[in-house]
Amino acid sequence: MSARRASALREDSSSSSDEKQFLQRCPSTNEYFDIAFKVMLLGDSAVGKTCFLVQFKDGAFLAGNFIATVGIDFRNKVVTVDNLKVKLQIWDTAGQERFRSVTHAYYRDAQALLLLYDITSKSSFDNIRAWLTEIHEYAQKDVVIMLLGNKSDMVHERVIKQEEGQKLAREYGVPFMETSAKTGVNVELAFLAVAKELKQRVSQQPNEPKFQIHEYIESQKQKSGCCGFM
Amino acid sequence: MISPRMATGMQEKQYTPSLLNFFIYNPKFGPREGEEEKKILFYHPSDVEKNEKIRNVGLCEAIVQFTRTFCPSKPAKSLHTQKNRQFFFEPEENFWIVMVVRNPMVEKPNKEGKPPTIEYQEEEILDTVYGAVLQQCYSMYKLFNGTFARAMEAGGVELLTQKLEKFFYRYLQTLHLQSCDLLDVFGGISFFPLDKMTYLKIQSFVNRVEESLSLIKYTAFLYNDQLIWSGLEQDDMRILYKYLTTSLFPRHSEPELAGRDSPLRPEVAGNLLHYGRFLTGPSNLKDPEAKFRFPKIFVNTDDSYEELHLIVYKAMSAAVCFMISASEELGREFCEQLDGLVGPQLTLLASDICEQYNINRRVSGPDKEPQFKFIYFNHMNLAEKSTIHMRKTASVSLTSVHPDLMKILGDIHADFVRVDEDEEIIVKAMTDYWVVGKKSDQRELYVILNQKNANLIEVNEEVKRLCATQCIVTRHLNGYTQTLYLALIVSLLWNAII
Amino acid sequence: MAADVHNKAVPWETANGSLAPVERLRQDRCDSPTPGLVEGTEPGAGQDSHMFVHAQSFEDLTADGDDTRAEAAGSENTSRLGEPADEGAQGLPSEEEQVEEKESHPGSRAKEEDVTSEAWRRHRKHVFVLSEAGKPIYSRYGTEEALSSTMGVMMALVSFVEAEKNIIRSIHADGYKVVFLRKSPLVLVGVAQTLQSERDLSRELHYIYYQIISLLTLTQLNHIFQHKQNYDLRRLLAGSEHLTDNLLKLLDRDPGLLLSAVTCLPLSSSVRDVISSSLQAAKAKNLVFSILLAGSHLVTLVRKKDQYLHHMDLHLLFNLVGSSSSFREGEGWTPICLPKFNTAGFFHAHISYLEPGTDLCLILVSTDREDFFNLSDCKHRFLERLRRRTAYQALQEALKNPSYSVSQVGIPELRHFLYKSKSSGLYTSPEFPVPYQSEEEQERIMELYQYLHSRIHHPTRPLRFIYCCGESENLLAWVTSGFELYLCFSPLGTKALAVSAINKLLKWIRKEEDRLFILSPQTY
């Protein structure tokens, strides 16, 4: 299940032109981009998917009451990866089971999946296996998956050790790190790593060394916990 | 119990509301499981199977308890279900009276073999009306039996259940739930309109009798089933009045009917000739076997708790109630004395009143169907007047308007009750009748106008005009509070116009 | 998609027939100050076809509730249209049996109230939803856990009365009433201290019921409880509490839900027509409804031919949009059941704001679950087309004044009014004036309107007209076959004034009807 090299992009009929043509105009953000990828956020309800996205997109934390996402929420953000404008089309999904049927329908459009659990919720961690089973069933074979233990700022409420996440990630061969949508730790990195990986798959030059997402995030990520960032 | 009324097409059967159950319980009397039956002090109909009684009482307890979740001090007063309505009333601590009334229904026949379809009319029963009827049941019981608590003190549960059984067995048969309306809510007293001179005559008559027969504690004077004078507290008079006008008088009405319209003035030579007679106690003083037992009533139950003999004495259309402490022995001698003293005077007085009444009627012109009808009630003195009700007896209340209009009056009244401020509501029914309701300064007035094409302004004008013609009616003294209540109506109607 | 609603074959007329105008309205009226105002010609009546399923009044909403009244707790026949299948129903409850999500949703709502406290009791309106096993599903105030025994008692009362082949309706006490609504497999209970009638509260409970159906479909709901009577529905409804909370707020404050009608953004008809035709042009194969909203005002609605949207379904969509902030940013895509259309299947709604920071929200409703990109494309086509027109500028301008002041009518004593055109299902009303601007006062005047509405629409003693003088205001309501009118005057207003105000107001509405109503609704 680890990220493998993809030789070509799957064409999606409904958004066919986007990926091929460079320098398109993205209608909702009015930004130009060279290449576009679809990224989906998954995980149980209330693990912080929407906050994670908002932190990445706007650099802000949504404080206050939890408001569940309804269905799927679709947003764009253009990032620069190796001088290339990459548009990330990000699907924020509702974690509730009543929305599963809709999310399933869009799994196969996604090129990368960010799978989140909440380090203060055992059940959200336990459900990761169920999520991975679903991903196997519905997603593309070569989809990029990244496991993220969110809410790393909540030191005192932590119930899932970092090692447990690490172990689970190794078992499935997916990259892993802990993140905080509140402080921003590793949030951008997660998207950037995915963007680099996907970009490299479509535009790898023969002489270019193969991008290693595992190594990249290991070298870049900030350790969470007491001695962490700030 | 069911009174089918044929509707259109000779097919559908209409059933009026009827009494399904009536029971009294005290949840403290059988707190342990298996002892639930002990809670039940009275249950109608009595032949209901024991477990069903227990179940129905249990539901009431549960409903009351449940509503305390939301307001501990104001538990449920009624439960609405598809088939019936249940009314809850706790007149004394932990004693609950429950009345279950079946909704009116329509039975529609089906094709051969199939049982008929029953449609319950869930919106027809007014809570305010039947809640008041239930409270009246208790007041009537208390008038003749005293409180539950006193019975418990005197003879425990056994005595109380006996009393309840004895009273309600008869009383419930006299409930006519299909003809209850707004007047039951008011439970008011109709006062006889009178000129000042006649009123003073009556007052001095009462004074003289009370002086001569010092045993008498309270007196009440009525004419034509309407009150003129009473020495009782308002609330006691209110229920006594109800008893007299819906139960006692109708049972003794025949002989006077003739005298009413032809005020035959008897030649009074000494005390030889008079029309006086006892409505309670001895029916014929000449009878050597005559019994001198009078019904007992309980008044002022909140403080002095008096038990009294109720003597009702009547001559032609005038009736007087004399109330004497129950501890006094009343025999032939006393009754003859009273008859001799009161009989001739009351006969005279009765014909005076009648004469006066007829003069007034001539002044106000012949009776003809007016363009409007009204109900008036004054909360301060309980004065009530209705031109809607032609005659109110125990069995039927004949109203001259469609029952739906009566219910609209009830709806308007319910709206008045909810808001504690002066209000006026004018509605136009689908039948194009206009109904005006006005609440002002503890008084309520309801007018029904048969003016189909009128608009709001015209209704106002019409009420103003009709009111002006009613003003011709000479000033009548209200014996109870000595106020001119018709003048009040007039002023109310005037207010309504502005 | 077998799972989705696709009922071209089923014309709406059938259902419409059951929603026929009530009989009492059949009589001719001559009490109108402006004779000739019969249904279809009143101010605000649509010129061609109507946008909505006909609903004369809220009685229609509870129509199927009334059926059950008649058949005495019999089983109801709810699915009228479409295929009953819904793949969401299969396996879902069992699939996640292993995961007991007891931690629910941390800090979702501040409702950890002491349910035995005076403050809890003082709430003006409580609403509870429970399953037939007595399990809590929703409580407006206080946590479901804390209220589980109370809800158990509620269910016990319901079943006790049912055991006698009877149906519990309500309990009345001084100052409050408890209303029960049995919509198998759910039981809804409202406890209100308001002046509202029992039927009015029952109407509100129906709304809550349909809100839940809109998330799950009735088919799925039935399926779940048939398989596991004891199922904790809160798991499936997780995250939807704020929708119900918000709907209850709307019920307390939004006249549209009371009137069974929708209000429009005041807009000149030429501008509205351009917007409608732009929306009409941006169509897609499976697109059934395109709805453009500005806040709680309808800008326009384009529908597939022969498919009508019930105002209740539209209010549920309004509620969905109004209570979720997430659509503000991106494009939302969600399954939604429109229960008055079909309780068995899901539509899929594409929800997005036209531009960042605007109040204009576009809802595109499709029958196809896979339609996201198609509808996203529709939206962009619509927006591009619209941007090229000057009408867009006019629309932006109109957004600045989504409502109007009652003073425009020119009747000094008139404080507020509601006018509903029955045939179009649209209403108009000015903004709440000074004495009614606080939330409390707004709810109070709504309560007065609710009172007038319930009196005038009494099920067995309906009225043509009602006028109430109180100490704080004078109220008037008048219903004809064409319209419903509710007026609120200052307490100084006289009856003569009220009568002349009706005429003046009706003339004003006639003059403004182009702006206030959608007179020519569009289809694709």
What is the per-residue DSSP string for A125-170? Answer: HHTHHHHHHHHHHHS-TT-EEEEEEE-TT-TTT--S-HHHHHHHHH
- Residue B226 CA to residue B190 CA, distance in Å, equals 5
- Residue C348 CA to residue C1 CA, distance in Å, equals 11
Alpha helices of chain A — where are they, by DSSP H? 16-20, 49-58, 100-107, 122-126, 128-138, 162-172, 187-203, 213-220
**Strand-by-strand arrangement of the B5-6 sheet:** B5-6, B13-15, B105-108, B117-120
Q: Single out the residue of C233, C248, C325 nearest to residue A67, CA to CA.
A: C325
Q: Do B80 and C170 touch (CB under 8 A)?
A: yes
Alpha helices of B102-227 — where are they, by DSSP H? 127-145, 148-171, 182-186, 196-212
Lowest mean pLDDT among A26-35, A175-184, C300-309, C353-362: A26-35
Answer for the pair B282, B288: CB distance below 8 angstroms, yes or no.
no
Peptide bond into B344 cis (omega under 30): no
Q: pLDDT digits over C258-301, tens only?
A: 999 999 999 999 999 999 999 999 989 999 999 999 988 999 99
Best mean pLDDT range from A7-21, B161-175, B361-375: B161-175
Tokens of B414: 């319910």
Indicate the pLDDT class of residue B111, thresholds 50, 70 and 90: confident
Return the higher-pLDDT residue of C155 and A2: C155
**pLDDT at position A26 over 60:** no
Percent of chain B with pLDDT over 70: 83
Q: Which chains sit next to B, with 3 or more Cβ pairs under 8 A?
A: C
Percent of chain A with pLDDT over 90: 48
- Residue C77 CA to residue C80 CA, distance in Å, equals 8
Return the higher-pLDDT residue of B215 and B480: B215
- A28 — contact with chain C (CB < 8 Å)? yes
**pLDDT at position B481 over 80:** no
pLDDT at A219: 78
DSSP label at residue C405: -
- Residue in C24, C150, C461 closest to B407 by CB: C461
- Residue C47 CA to residue B414 CA, distance in Å, equals 42
Q: Which residues of chain C have pLDDT under 70?
A: 1-39, 47-111, 326
Q: Do B426 and C466 touch (CB under 8 A)?
A: yes
- Residue A55 CA to residue A38 CA, distance in Å, equals 18
Tokens of B45: 């109909």
**pLDDT at position B291 over 50:** yes
pLDDT at C203: 96
pLDDT at A24: 44
- A166 — contact with chain C (CB < 8 Å)? no
Phi/psi class of residue B217: alpha, beta or left (left: φ > 0; alpha: ψ in -120 to 50)?
Answer: alpha
Measured from the Cβ of residue B405, the count of other Cβ atoms closer than 10 Å reads 20
Q: Do C334 and A102 touch (CB under 8 A)?
A: yes
Q: Coil, strand, or helix at residue B129?
A: helix
Q: Do C464 and B432 touch (CB under 8 A)?
A: yes
- Residue in B67, B122, B456 closest to C171 by CB: B67
Answer for the pair B323, B297: CB distance below 8 angstroms, yes or no.
yes
Return the higher-pLDDT residue of B200 and B370: B200
Return the higher-pLDDT residue of A59 and B269: A59
Which of 101-120 (B) contact C at CB < 8 A? 119-120
- Residue in C161, C459, C466 closest to B81 by CB: C161
Q: Single out the residue of C440, C439, C438, C433 nearest to residue C487, CA to CA.
A: C433
Q: Coil, strand, or helix at residue B416?
A: helix
Q: Coil, strand, or helix at residue C217?
A: coil
Tokens of B451: 């003016």
- Residue C263 CA to residue C51 CA, distance in Å, equals 13
Q: Do C156 and B62 touch (CB under 8 A)?
A: yes
How far off is chain C from A177, nearest CA to CA, in Å? 23
- A92 — contact with chain C (CB < 8 Å)? yes
- Residue C31 CA to residue C21 CA, distance in Å, equals 20
* Average pLDDT rounded to a whole number, residues A94-106: 87
Contacting residues of A for C105, CB less than 8 Å apart: 45-46, 66, 68
Contacting residues of C for B120, CB less than 8 Å apart: 69
pLDDT at C44: 82
Indicate the pLDDT class of residue B36, thresholds 50, 70 and 90: confident
Burial of B173 (0-12, 13-18, 19+ CB in 10 A): exposed
Tokens of C516: 């206030």
A touches C, CB cut-off 8 Å, minimum 3 pairs: yes
Q: pLDDT digits over A50-83, tens only?
A: 999 999 988 888 877 777 888 899 988 999 988 8
* Average pLDDT rounded to a whole number, residues B333-354: 91
Answer for the pair B176, B184: CB distance below 8 angstroms, yes or no.
no
Chain C interface, best mutation among B88, B456, B462, B495, by max C CB count within 10 A = B456
CA distances from C391 to C275, C355, C387, C394 (A): 7, 16, 8, 5
pLDDT at B420: 80
Tokens of C405: 């002041």
pLDDT at B468: 60
What is the dihedral angle through the alpha carbons of B90, B92, B98, B99, rounded to the nearest 10 degrees?
-100
Q: Single out the residue of C376, C346, C345, C342 nearest to residue C362, CA to CA.
A: C376
Chain A interface, best mutation among C4, C329, C377, by max A CB count within 10 A = C329
Lowest mean pLDDT among A155-164, B258-267, B415-424, C102-111: B258-267
Q: φ and ψ at A24, to 5 degrees?
A: -90, 165
Can you spell out the DSSP letters for B349-371?
HHHHHHHHHHHHHHHT------S
* Average pLDDT rounded to a whole number, residues A96-118: 90
**pLDDT at position B486 over 50:** no
Phi/psi class of residue C405: alpha, beta or left (left: φ > 0; alpha: ψ in -120 to 50)?
Answer: beta
Measured from the Cβ of residue A86, the count of other Cβ atoms closer than 10 Å reads 22
The strand ranges marked E within B36-83 are 40-44, 76-81
Lowest mean pLDDT among A105-109, A120-124, B86-90, B338-342: A105-109
Q: Which residues does B122 contact at the CB level (< 8 Å), separation at least 6?
A: B80, B82, B103, C69, C169
Which of 103-132 (A) contact C at CB < 8 A? 105-106, 121, 123, 126-127, 130
Q: Coil, strand, or helix at residue B228?
A: strand
Answer for the pair B238, B185: CB distance below 8 angstroms, yes or no.
no
> Which of 3.30.70.3270, 3.40.50.300, 2.40.40.20, 3.90.180.10 is the CATH number of A3-224?
3.40.50.300
Best mean pLDDT range from B126-140, B329-343, B422-436: B126-140
- Residue A199 CA to residue A208 CA, distance in Å, equals 13
- Residue C296 CA to residue C292 CA, distance in Å, equals 10
- Residue B161 CA to residue B38 CA, distance in Å, equals 11
Beta strand C522-523 pairing with B226-230:
unpaired
Burial of B230 (0-12, 13-18, 19+ CB in 10 A): buried
Q: Which amino acid type is present at position C288?
A: V
Phi/psi class of residue B460: alpha, beta or left (left: φ > 0; alpha: ψ in -120 to 50)?
Answer: alpha
- Residue C43 CA to residue C512 CA, distance in Å, equals 9
Q: Single out the residue of B180, B326, B296 nearest to residue B246, CA to CA.
A: B180
Q: Do C461 and B411 touch (CB under 8 A)?
A: yes
Identify any residues that bridge with C294 across adjacent strands, giving them in sequence order. C297, C360
Tell me how many degrees the CA angle A79-A83-A86 measures, rounded to the nearest 5: 35
**pLDDT at position B470 over 80:** no
**pLDDT at position B465 over 90:** no
**Type and span of the H or E element at C162:** helix C148-163
Answer for the pair C522, C299: CB distance below 8 angstroms, yes or no.
no
pLDDT at B313: 94
- Residue in A70, A96, A97 closest to C332 by CB: A70
Burial of C243 (0-12, 13-18, 19+ CB in 10 A): buried
Indicate the pLDDT class of residue B165, thresholds 50, 70 and 90: very high
Which of 425-444 (B) contact C at CB < 8 A? 425-430, 432
- Residue C35 CA to residue B390 CA, distance in Å, equals 39
- Residue B414 CA to residue C177 CA, distance in Å, equals 14
Answer for the pair C156, B62: CB distance below 8 angstroms, yes or no.
yes
Q: Coil, strand, or helix at residue B39?
A: helix
**pLDDT at position A18 over 90:** no
Contacting residues of C for A138, CB less than 8 Å apart: none
Q: Which chains sit next to A, with 3 or more Cβ pairs under 8 A?
A: C
